[in-house]
Amino acid sequence: MTHVAILGGGPAGLAAAQAALAAGAAVTLLDEGGRLGGQFWRHHAGITDPRMQHGFERFERLLGSLERAEVHSGAAVWSAELRDGGDGGGGRIVLRAVVGDADAADRRPVVVQADAVVVATGAHDLALPVPGWTLPGVTTAGAAQALAKRDGVSVGRRTLVAGAGPFLLPVAQSLALVGATVVGVHEASRTGALARGWLPKPWELLGKSGELAEYVGALVRHRIPYRIGSGVVRVLGVERVEGAVVAQLDTQWRPVPGTERVIECDAVALGHGFTPRLEAAIMLGCEVEGDRRGRFVVVDDAQRTTMPGVFAAGEVTGIGGADAALAEGAIAGFRAAGLAQDDPRLRDALRVRDRMRRLARRLERAHGIRPGWTAWLDDDTIVCRCEAVTKGAIAERAEVPLRAMRLATRAGLGPCQARTCGRAVEAIVAEARASAAVTGAAGEAVGGANAGAQGDGAVGFDRRPLLAPVRLGELAEPTEPASDENRNEAWPSGCSA
């Protein structure tokens, strides 16, 4: 029997599990959350307001299909490898995890060996740095959503929501449902881009038709102002958020001088996009493609990555929303279990996936991050939150290779391992290199800047020596200890080459 391992228990991972089981495979699913569902179906019975949930019947059906699967919730998977050739039995994919309460000292090691793996690790919010964004009261939009859904609380009483993309709407709705006043939703994109990107069916990304109408209804019902071409350019406060400066943004997201105004609030929720969680795919050797604006796992029509037996589905292959993730997950699960591409069981999922992919491209065009945002940073704005590294310190060392810059400034070397600031640091470095090149030899400026930015490898900050935070003692468990190199918090030498 084919054994399929699945990394991630959100829509993509659950759909993959269901499909692989239906095709007769044995399935092991590993998910970091205490409860399955991922970000989309984050919930807690008795706490979550059902109005915040969408497609929950589908979720319950997926859970119901997992009876024959081995499921590990609370699993921090810290290593994912392909074992070389030969057949030692048990399959070539080797995943190592510790399972238990989050960050507990007594988690137990689990090693999974499988014939195939579906990487469905999802994405997290991308909040761009803004002066003042380290003040308590500033969170990502995803945090506001998670706290509302899972804990039934909001960080502030008056929250400003800002960033880009349709995901800001359900966040505003959830905040309103837990009793917070949403003082405004500020969407950085402008009408033209929105119209081009969203038409003709803008609601598709948010799920089945009607969902967008529901969010718009919530905005109206809760009297929430919705502004386009607008963003937070500064957060005000001494010990916590006391207000925010919003400004009009031009098409490149550069603040328009003279349009600033202060909005009184005690919380700011920022969500400028999403960063796929690529590290497991990268550790498995899968090719990733793109640049700092968007880097994703390369997959073919069968959701196969460039590594044999490794499939990927959901946001790691492109930000497409829950319906796309469900379809991709089903395709990956069926194929990983050995079904052929033309098997009739794949037909529905293939159709949905292709439609959602087209929509995702339109949305990226409409809401994708524009380079002008760096204009709202001051030199002393903290960019790397873990190590308190400023924009000025990063830009100053933009000319040296990325790895040397990081070692000199410590940008991206803190506990989050650049998950929070990586994209922003890359953007600041690229911008500084480009402007240095312009003032220098104009002829080779662009090529030189690009070559420099690419010289650190196509994966930029996304390669990580450990996939999840684990304690040193846990790595020393007798289930094959990690190499000493991997225990070092600093970048192991082999990793950024």
Partner 1 sequence: MSGTVRIVVDDELISGRDGQTIAGVLIGSGRIAWRTAQHGERGVFCGIGVCHDCLVTVNGVEGVRACQRRAVEGDRIEREVRS
**Interface residue list for partner 1 (CB under 8 A):** 32, 34, 39, 44-47, 101-105, 124-125, 127, 134-140, 142-147, 150-156, 239-240, 382, 385-388, 414-416, 419-420, 469, 471
Q: Output 177 or 349, the one with its CB closest to partner 1.
A: 177
How far apart are CB 246 and partner 1 at their closest, in Å?
20
How far apart are CB 358 and partner 1 at their closest, in Å?
28
Q: Output 255 or 271, the one with its CB closest to partner 1.
A: 271
Q: Output 142 or 197, the one with its CB closest to partner 1.
A: 142
How far apart are CB 409 and partner 1 at their closest, in Å?
13
How far apart are CB 43 and partner 1 at their closest, in Å?
10
Q: Output 150 or 295, the one with its CB closest to partner 1.
A: 150
d(CA 330, CA 333): 5
Q: Output 1 or 105, the one with its CB closest to partner 1.
A: 105
d(CA 216, CA 315): 25
How far apart are CB 7 and partner 1 at their closest, in Å?
15
Q: By the 8 A CB rule, do 29 and 17 touch?
A: yes
Q: Output 127 or 427, the one with its CB closest to partner 1.
A: 127
How far apart are CB 26 and partner 1 at their closest, in Å?
29
How far apart are CB 219 and partner 1 at their closest, in Å?
22
How far apart are CB 35 and partner 1 at their closest, in Å?
10
Q: Output 126 or 366, the one with its CB closest to partner 1.
A: 126
Q: By the 8 A CB rule, do 390 and 379 touch?
A: yes
Q: Output 138 or 428, the one with its CB closest to partner 1.
A: 138
Query: Where on the phi/psi map is residue 138: left (φ > 0), alpha (ψ -120 to 50), or beta?
Result: beta
Q: Output 136 or 210, the one with its CB closest to partner 1.
A: 136
How far apart are CB 364 and partner 1 at their closest, in Å?
22
